[in-house]
Amino acid sequence: MTKTQMTEVKRLPDQRKFRLTWEDGFSSEIDYDKVRGFCPCAGCQGHGTGEVEFRPPVSPVEPLSIRPVGNYAISIQWTDGHDTGIYRFDFLRQLVIDHQDSN
């Protein structure tokens, strides 16, 4: 995965998506529910070492806040009360690449 820094996370509330942009100019959009469903935290994924699996939210979610985590990730507080996921930049970039056609 890339080590390129993410430079912007923009909410697109009318589309219920994020626009993610990296310093190398790569930019893509991804659904809120898709990001929430791929939450990498142990509470959502368990403590195994396997691939992160999609676990759809019970109902549609929206981000309440987005906070940086060091220089490598963001944390999102969701309307369903969840806020423990740390989304590494390389994880998010791979997620948008893997799901470009399914947005």
- The CATH number linked to 24 is 3.30.2020.30
62 domain-assigned: yes
CB 84 within 8 A of CB 56: no
pTM: 0.91
76: containing domain: 6-102
Looking at the 3D structure of the chain, how many domains does it have? 1
Residue 1: its pLDDT value, please?
46
1 domain-assigned: no
Please name the helix (run of DSSP H) or strand (run of DSSP E) that holds residue 63, with its range, or none.
strand 63-69
CB 30 within 8 A of CB 95: yes
Q: What is the mean pLDDT of residues 78-87?
A: 96
pLDDT above 90 for 65 = yes
18 backbone dihedrals φ, ψ, rounded to 5°: -105, 145
